[in-house]
Amino acid sequence: MSFTPSSESHLLCTSALACERDSRVLYNDLNFVVKPGHLWHVKGRNGAGKTTLLRQLAGLHPVDTGEVLYSNNSIKIIYIGHKLGLKEQLTADENLSWLAGLDGSSTQRQRYAALEHVGLRGYEENPVAQLSAGQKRRVALARLHLCKADVWLLDEPFTSLDQQGIVDEIDWLNQHTRAGGAVLMTSHQDINLPHVKILDLGQYSPLLGECLLDKGSAII
Amino acid sequence: MTESSWRMPRWFHQMGSPKWFYGFAGILQPWFAIAALGLLTWGALWGLAFAPADYQQGNSFRIMYVHVPAAILSQSIFLGMAVAGAVGLVWKMKVAFMVARSCIAIGATFTAIALVTGAIWGKPTWGAYWVWDARLTSTLVLFFLYAGIMALNQAISERHIAGKATAILAIVGTINIPIIKYSVEWWNTLHQSSSFTLTAKPSMPAEMYLPLLLTVLGSYCFFALVVLMRTRSQIVQSQSGASWLMQHRDITGA
Amino acid sequence: MIRFMWAIVRRDLLLVARQPAEMINPLVFFLLVIALFPLGVSPEAALLSQTAAGVIWVAAMLATLLSLELLFKLDHDDGSLEQLLLAPYPSWSLVLAKVFVHWLVSGLPLILISPLIATMLFLPSQAVPTLMLSLLIGTPTLSLLGAIGAALVTGVRGGGMLLTLLILPLYVPVIIFGASSVAAAAQGMAIDGYMALLAAMFVFALMITPWAAGSALKL
> What letter would DSSP give residue C19?
-
Q: Which of residues 161-200 of B touch C (CB under 8 A)?
A: 161, 164-165, 168-169, 171-173, 175-176, 179-180, 182-184, 186-187, 190
How many other CB atoms are there within 10 angstroms of residue A109's CB atom? Answer: 8
A199-203's contacts with Cβ under 8 Å and 24+ in sequence apart are A199/A32, A199/A40, A199/A41, A199/A42, A199/A43, A200/A43, A200/A44, A201/A26, A201/A27, A201/A42, A201/A43, A201/A44, A201/A48, A201/A49, A201/A50, A201/A53, A202/A43, A202/A44, A202/A45, A202/A48
User: A137 and A160, same structural domain?
Assistant: no
Contacts of A209 (CB under 8 A, 6+ apart): B241
Q: Does one domain contain both A15 and A69?
A: yes
The answer to whether residue A82 is domain-embedded is no
Same domain, A98 and A160: no
Surface of C (19-38) touching A: CB under 8 A: 19
Whether B235 and B26 have beta carbons less than 8 Å apart is answered as no
pLDDT digits (tens, 9 = 90+) for C64-79: 988 888 888 888 888 8
**Distance (Å, whole) CA A16 – CA A28:** 7
Is there a domain that residue A80 lies in? Answer: no
Is the domain of A6 the same as that of A54?
Answer: yes
Where does residue C208 rank: exposed (0-12), middle (13-18), buried (19+ CB within 10 A)?
middle
Report how far residue A99's alpha carbon sits from residue A149's, in angstroms, rounded to the nearest whole number. 13
* Nearest CA distance, C66 vs chain A (angstrom): 21
* Neighbouring C-beta atoms of residue C103, cutoff 10 Å: 20
- Nearest CA distance, A112 vs chain C (angstrom): 19
In a domain, A81, yes or no: no
Do C176 and B183 make contact, defined as CB atoms within 8 angstroms? yes
Q: Among A148, A180, A201, where does a domain finish?
A: A148
Of C15, C79, C219, the CB nearest to A84: C79
pLDDT digits (tens, 9 = 90+) for A111-125: 888 888 888 888 888
Give C52 to chain B, closest Cα distance, Å.
Answer: 16
Find the residue in C nearest to B168 (Cα).
C212
Q: Which domain holds residue B70?
A: 66-192+205-236
| Number of compact structural domains in chain A | 2
Written in H, E and C, the secondary structure of B132-195 is CCHHHHHHHHHHHHHHHHHHHHHHCCCHHHHHHHHHHHHHHHHHHHHHHHHHHHHHHHHHCCCC
Tell me the pairing of strands A39-43 and A12-21.
unpaired
The total of structural domains in chain B comes to 1
Q: What is the pTM of this model?
A: 0.84
Query: Which A residues in the span 148-167 are in contact with B, Cβ-Cβ below 8 Å?
Result: none
State the residue range of the domain holding A27.
1-75+150-220
pLDDT tens, B186-240?
Answer: 887 776 544 444 444 445 666 677 778 888 888 888 898 899 888 888 888 877 6
Question: What residues pair up with A17 in beta bridges, in sequence order?
Answer: A30
From first to last of its 220 residues, chain A has per-residue pLDDT tens of 334 444 456 778 888 788 877 667 788 888 888 888 888 888 888 777 888 888 888 888 888 788 888 887 778 889 998 888 888 888 988 899 888 888 888 888 888 888 888 888 888 888 888 989 889 999 999 998 888 888 899 998 888 888 888 888 888 888 888 888 888 888 888 888 888 888 887 777 765 444 444 443 333 2
